[in-house]
Chain A
Amino acid sequence: MDAPITQRKLRLATASLAGCFGCHMSLLDIDERLFELVERVDFDRSPLTDIKHCGPCDIGLIEGGICNAENVHVLREFRRHCKVLIAVGACAVNGGLPAQRNHLDLGLCLQEIYLTAPDIVGGQIPNDPELPLPLDKVHPIHEIVRIDYFIPGCPPSGDALWKFLTDLLDGRTPRLGHPLLHFD
């Protein structure tokens, strides 16, 4: 019964949006199990591969919430291309640390940081078109696109990620019990 449902190697993409890459570090924390993982999946777009755009994939892992226009584009690209899209970590799940700015007015923030802070002389709010514009509020990713699974944690442990992914790859309903399921 251990035979995987599909023999075809699955394609996996990952991205970090408004996050700290901690969840990606956790993915690396599965240590030697990485070898097993690459036996079973090919990596598409990911900070680990440096591929810039996501192609058709089976699984997408998203770390981080949505704080700017570019995040939205990347997330939508992932949604278009990934059969299964997974929110990984506190920021993707509920906005996390970046969302702690949500009770502040964005305009006032930009003004204070770039124009009126005491050590600023002749300041200017950056307006280079290359820079993605920030959203007025930070959002978890399920508020932008449909998400299939959530792996909470700040970050989720390597063991939690491994359990979740192997469940998924083996065709089981992924489940995190005690103590793998945690929010901190």
Chain B
Amino acid sequence: MSEESFDAERLEELLRPVVDRHGGDPLQLVQILRETQDVVGYLPTAVLTAIATALRLPRAQVEGVAGFYSFFHLTPPGRYRVLFSDNITDRMLGSGELLDRLCNKLWIERGKVSEDGLLSVDRTSCTGMCDQGPALLVNGQPLTHLSGERIDRISELIRAQVPLADWPAEYFRVDDNIRRRDSLLATEWPAGEALRAALARGAEAMLAEMKLSNLRGRGGAGFTTAVKWESARRAPCHGEEGLRYVVCNADEGEPGTFKDRVLLSSYADLVFDGMSVAGFSIGASKGLLYLRGEYAYLLPALREKLERRRRSGLLGRALCGQVAFDFEIDIHLGAGAYVCGEETALLESLEGRRGIPRIRPPFPVTAGYRGQPTVVNNVETLCKAALIAIRGGAWFAGLGTKQSTGSKLLSISGDVERPGIYEYPFGVSVEQVLQDCGAGNAQAVQVSGPSGVCLATHEFSRRIAFEDVPTAGAFMVFGTHRDMFEVARNFAHFFKHESCGFCTPCRVGTSLVANCMDKIAKGLGTQYEINQIFKIHRLLHAASHCGLGQAACNPLFDTLQKFRPAYERRLCSLDFEPAFDLDQALAAARQMTGRNDPGAHFGLAARLPGVAS
């Protein structure tokens, strides 16, 4: 679609329903941009101006938000927009070759739009299909289990311009792959069971059960959930129409994690029950589910679930017959920004802004969404809260270890025979997990994703628990044949891509370390680069604004400590080598002058008269 086709009248026509659907609320900007892009295909300058006018926002602010998220397009993308998931597990399953294969088949360069506007092919951060990769997104729809054959078929479908709806359905199949069930996954509870249990207990008693359970956040940080809930319940609301909010963090962006996808696919009512229980306990009447853009395909089913809950009195006014309790749930879609998994960046995004982590204090429990007391909990945490409502805090506290009660869902991928979701009581050893998933020759496990920790063989006796190896759920296994340097390099590029750019150390530092890793990969690395990485690691750890920056060098630090030979065999000398290729730097001039004499090639030029010895 070309720019010229947008006259004011047509724009108005396109925009009006989208803006109206959101009541013209500027805090809904991210949703409005998303839905507008769904209609228009991308976000041309005229459209941004029209949205700004409609929402009475400065145009530059609208452009700034549109420019922040990976899935917003300010220029037309291909009509088929293919994004290969670029997690290391996808790479290990051959995604790099498959991407090249598709590009070759369709005569297209990665990152560019084909001249006829038919398609674009690029990479994107982990799409959460690591147990069934290699995976890609085509126009937002996930394709799993890619193979050479499937790629060839896809290239034909695209060339023939077959609509996605007519592609073979099995291409889009996403499996749950639940391999081990424990206290959460073993039982299916009818919708509303947990909510009714909580209502029967009463809010204060429910909070008491939460305290008793000692449930800690499953998003990685491990903060005690009851403390969060209690603080939000006690915090005063601001303004006349002050409300409290429950936010479910389903921005599952940590590479290697996909447990929330499974919970939202097959346990959505438990998630919604958990949100409602939280709402009831803290005195909130509104819940927001922040769904990562990569999981947009789940949206219709989730909306349908919410509708069903509304019909059966589990959502809305005076639900379950409780006159004093109203609760609504909205779903917000993200648009491709890992940093929004950080709870305050998520709140910014919910409020229609760039996903920049806020300055804390104040914390969300006192001033969160729209400045009101807000509880932000992970999907799994809320499921656990629902279980606690049903079965009580004491029961929950009896599971797992003393400091890490209950169970944990692990998303297992990489060099294992049976990748998928494994639920264990906390305290399980890494060894046990490896045995269960069929990881015969593991040399390393990356626990909790790139921002987590890389464990080597001698640490496999350690246990998954907050007091030993805490995790948000990712468990990526690397066999002895894998190159741990390439693992770390993939992670370095992930952080460079996902840095929000707010603070200096993370914005520049993530690029600098990615460059160091590329230089080492080219065989131009020296001890100098290794020292640089350590130095930048220390700076990012100390001075970054949020956890993303603080953790950005962890995988490099860990692999440098534990898999040093993977780096050292690439180092070319102990002194210094330049990053750029001198011969390559002369290529442009060589071409323009038509010269091919020894002096025009750097390596040979030493013999030129008057130059060097």
Contact = CB atoms under 8 A, between A and B. Distances in A.
Answer yes or no: A and B touching, Cβ < 8 Å. yes
A76 B579 CA distance: 15
Contacts of A146: 528, 575-576
B586 A69 contact: yes
Contacts of A105: 588
Nearest to B587: A136
B599 A110 contact: no
B588 A69 contact: no
Contacts of B584: 136
- Of A53, A76, A136, the most chain B CB neighbours within 10 A belong to A136
A135 B605 CA distance: 14
Contact of A137 (B585, B592, B598, B602): B585
Contact of B593 (A72, A127, A144, A145): A127
Nearest to A136: B588
B611 A110 contact: no
Nearest to A129: B597
A30 to B, nearest CB: 30
Contacts of B595: 127, 129, 133
Interface residues of A, number: 29
B610 interface: yes
B589 A52 contact: no
Given A127-B593, A127-B594, A133-B590, 10 more contacts: A70-B611, A73-B608, A106-B592, A107-B592, A134-B586, A135-B589, A136-B588, A137-B585, A143-B579, A144-B578
B592 A73 contact: no
Contacts of B594: 125, 127
A15 to B, nearest CB: 12
B612 A73 contact: yes
A125 B589 CA distance: 9
Nearest to B526: A146
Interface in A57-82: 69-70, 72-74, 76-77
B593 A73 contact: no
Contacts of B598: 129
A139 B586 contact: no
Contacts of A70: 611
B530 to A, nearest CB: 15
A134 B589 contact: yes
A54 to B, nearest CB: 8
Given A106-B588, A133-B599, A134-B589, A73 B575 contact: no
B582 interface: yes
A141 to B, nearest CB: 10
Interface in A115-144: 125-127, 129, 132-137, 139, 143-144
A69 B605 contact: yes
Contacts of A127: 593-595
29 contacts: A52-B610, A69-B582, A69-B599, A69-B602, A70-B611, A72-B602, A73-B606, A73-B611, A76-B612, A77-B612, A77-B613, A106-B588, A110-B589, A111-B592, A126-B593, A129-B598, A132-B611, A133-B590, A133-B595, A134-B586, A135-B585, A135-B586, A136-B584, A143-B579, A143-B580, A144-B578, A145-B576, A145-B578, A146-B528
Residue among A74, A133, A145 having the largest count of chain B Cβ atoms under 10 Å: A133
B187 interface: no
Contacts of A111: 592
A29 B611 CA distance: 29
Contacts of B591: 107
Interface string B63-98: 000000000000000000000000000000000000
A137 B581 CA distance: 11
